[in-house]
Every structure is written in structure tokens, then in C-alpha cells.
Structure 1
Amino acid sequence: MFVGHYAAALAARAAEPRVPLWTYVLGCQAIDIAWSGLILAGVERASVDPSLPGSTLVLSHMPYTHSLPAAVLWSVAVGAGLMALLKLPRRAGVFIGLTVFSHWVLDFLVHRPDLPLLWNGPMVGLGLWNHPLPEEVLEMGLLALAGAAWGWRRGQEGQGWKPALAFLAFLLCLQVVPMLSPLGEGRLSLGGSPLVAYLVACVAAWMAEPTVAKPGVGRA
């Protein structure tokens, strides 16, 4: 699961428009941003097995980012932190937190059993990665549905469609690039390359929507 995570950001933006899009984009990948940092630091561990179908990642140790308790803590911390930093209403903070937690839920669908249900196990994951075509259909379907909801919200706000299409095209490029140039071994490749992609996506989201919705849109 890669760009499918951004579906949660677009859906949240459609449901609670008082939050900047880049904030949701940051939230939906906050767990993987932390994971990238811990991979670079050598705290969590991963490797690559080219013989695996679908994703070639072997995620051997990631209790601080991808265990269920860690996902809950990251969701609360990021939601509350951004709510306080950006002076957002409580409902907006809840939506940010839900966007963060959606990452673990979507990972559960596609990961092989490598997600710790507690800090160190048991390991869970439905393994859709082992079936690349259905996994790709799931990601693209989620992105299409959420993109349509986001487009509808932008229409309600009187915003143009070109920035939205440009951002969606950018996300599709993010999905294609790893297929053409798979991750290599080593911390820098495994942690650094994804981290750059996540941060560039935040910048692209800010460029697509540099301002938030007008006050009064959405519920309190």
C-alpha cells in the first residue's frame, strides 16, 4: 500500500474541509515518515527480497511505528499536535487522528503478517501484497473514490479542477516510479527514498491547496 494511503487524506479533506490538505497528507503517512526515520537510525529493520510477489519489502522489526498500540499513540499525538499547532477545532483534530490511524488499517489489508498486534506480536496482516493485481485495484479504487469526493468538495467551495488533477497525477507517478526502480538494500535506500517521497507529497498538496476552506464550511 502506497498511494492508497492518500485516499484517506482526500476523503478526510472532503469530510472536514477546515484542515489544510497538506496536513491530511502528512497525517496519512505520518507512521511511515516515522518508520523511515527509524530505519535510517537503525532502530527498526527492513530488507528486500526480490523473489517476493508484489512488494519486495521484508519488514522484520517495527514495533515503534507499525504495532497497533504505536499506531494509536501516533494517531493521538499527531492529531492533537497539529490541532494545537494550527489552532484547529476539535473535530478537525479528530479527523487528522483518524487519517493517521487509517494507515495501520490499510496496511493490515495488504501486509504479510508483519504488523505487531501488541508491541512484539502476534504478527498480523491479510497479505494482499501476495496478489499484486487485486492489491493494485484496491489502491486505485480507493484513490478514485476519495479523489471524486475531494473534487466534489472543491466544487462546493468554488475551487478549480486543474490543481486537483495535477495532484492526482502526481500521486499516480509516485505509484509507478517504485515499479520501474525498485528499492535497493541499505538504510539510505529503504528509509531515505520513501522519506523524500512523503515530504514531496506534502509540498505538492500545499501547492494544490495553499489555503483552507472558508470559515463556516463543515460542522463544528
Structure 2
Amino acid sequence: MFAGHFGLAAGVRAKSPEVPLWALMVATQLLDVAFVPLLLTGVETMDDTQHGDGYGELIIHADYSHSLLGALVLSVLAGLAARWLWGKRASYILAGVAFSHWILDLVVHRSDMPLLPGNWGDLPLLGLGAWKYEGLAIGLELLLLVVGFTMYFRSALKKAGGTRKKAAILSSAVLGMMLGLALLTDVASLF
């Protein structure tokens, strides 16, 4: 669902022009940004022994960064940073975009997402498992990309006037290529 998160950020940008696109893109990946150092230090892990290492096959033990409480804390931190930089409305938007990562992951992950960091209390792990059905998962991700890109493109054209229309089309084309590349690398399990 790596690429799908970016599609959501593009769509949000269409409705929230006061928040920079780069900030929305980082916010939508904030849980994964937190996951990387935890993975590198061995605090969180990925297991390819059960299903393989292709698209959606890894079991991800992101017991801190992708726990419900961890996602809420990271989202609040993103919101606080946004409030300081861009104001109150931006803080709610960025916090929501950051938390959307957990919601989207809940749809695709197998049951590997804890409620509390480190799975304190040994509560049931969550995940609806769309990754078990590759076509469904890719379709959901593609839908997020297409809808998000379409919203972004329409918004960019609407806001552009006269000579700026070409710039809006060019910037949208670049974003579209980046979203497409993100999907290809995601599905091909290149990252």
C-alpha cells in the first residue's frame, strides 16, 4: 500500500492548498518513516519465511510504529508540527493524513498490527488481509492513485489561470508519473 498512501495525499492537497504537497506526502508515510530506524536497529522486523517477499507477502512486525497507539502519537506530533508551521486547520489535516496510513494498512495487512506498542497485553492483532488477494490489493491501491491524482489535476487546472495552465499540466504530469512509478515499484516489490 506504499503508493496508495501517496494517492490519498494528492487528493487531500486538492482540498487543502494551504498545506504543501511535500508535507502531505511525508505525513502519509510517517509511520513508515518511523518504521525504518526501528527496523534497522532490530526493534521491528519483517518476516518473509511464511509467505515470501513479493507484493504484500511480508509479515511486518511493526509493533511500535504501526500500533494503533503509536500511530495516534505520531499523528498528534505531525499535527503539532503543522500547527506551528501552517496553522490550526493544517494541523488537523496533517494529523488526519498521518493517521490515514494506519487505516489503509488495516485494510491490506494480514493480522499483524497491534493495538498497543510492543503488543502490550497480548491483545489480538488487527488486519483485514487484502494483501492475501493480490488483485484486490492492487486494485484498491490503483483506485486511491487514480482518484487522488484526478482530484489533484482538476484542482490544479481550476486554480491555474491563462499562462499558468501549462505549468499546472506539467506539474500534474510529473506527479502522475511519480505516482505511477510508486505503484510499479510497490507491486514489483522493488522497495
* TM-score category (smaller protein): 0.7 to 0.9
Which structure has the higher relative contact order (CA within 8 Å, separation 6+)? 1
Q: C-alpha offsets along residues 152-180 of structure 1, whole Å, 9 cap, x if unaligned?
A: 21122205111112122122112223544
Give me the CA root mean square deviation. 1.8
Q: Taking structure 1 as reference, are residues 5 and 179 closer, same or farther at Cα in structure 2, changes over 3 Å only?
A: closer
Aligned mates of 2:154, 2:48 — CA distance in 1: 40
8 Å CA contact 1:75, 1:97 repeated in 2:
yes
Q: Taking structure 1 as reference, are residues 179 and 146 closer, same or farther at Cα in structure 2, changes over 3 Å only?
A: closer
* Aligned residue in 1 for 2:36: 36
Identity level (%): 32
Aligned mates of 1:41, 1:57 — CA distance in 2: 18
* Aligned residue in 2 for 1:75: 75
* Aligned residue in 1 for 2:19: 19
With structure 2 as the length reference, what TM-score do the two structures score?
Answer: 0.87
Aligned mates of 1:66, 1:31 — CA distance in 2: 6
Tell me the amino acid that sits aligned with residue 59 of structure 1.
Answer: I
Q: C-alpha offsets along residues 51-75 of structure 1, whole Å, 9 cap, x if unaligned?
A: 4474121213x22200101111110
Whether 1:48 aligns to 2:56 is: no
* Aligned residue in 2 for 1:96: 94
8 Å CA contact 2:28, 2:100 repeated in 1:
yes
With structure 1 as the length reference, what TM-score do the two structures score?
Answer: 0.76
The runs of 5 or more residues in structure 2 that have no matched partner are none
2:158 to 156, 159, 170: 156
8 Å CA contact 1:49, 1:56 repeated in 2:
no
Whether 1:128 aligns to 2:126 is: no
SS at match of 1:3: helix
Aligned mates of 1:124, 1:108 — CA distance in 2: 7
8 Å CA contact 2:107, 2:130 repeated in 1:
yes
By how many angstroms is 1:117 displaced?
2.0
Whether 1:58 aligns to 2:56 is: no
Give the aligned length.
180
Q: Taking structure 1 as reference, are residues 32 and 9 closer, same or farther at Cα in structure 2, changes over 3 Å only?
A: same
* Aligned residue in 2 for 1:209: none
Tell me the amino acid that sits aligned with residue 58 of structure 1.
Answer: I
Q: C-alpha offsets along residues 131-157 of structure 1, whole Å, 9 cap, x if unaligned?
A: 000111111011111111111211222
Aligned mates of 2:8, 2:28 — CA distance in 1: 7
Stretches (4+) displaced over 3 A: 49-54
By how many angstroms is 1:115 displaced?
0.5
* Aligned residue in 2 for 1:110: 108
The runs of 5 or more residues in structure 1 that have no matched partner are 184-193, 195-220
By how many angstroms is 1:41 displaced?
1.7
Aligned mates of 1:20, 1:173 — CA distance in 2: 21
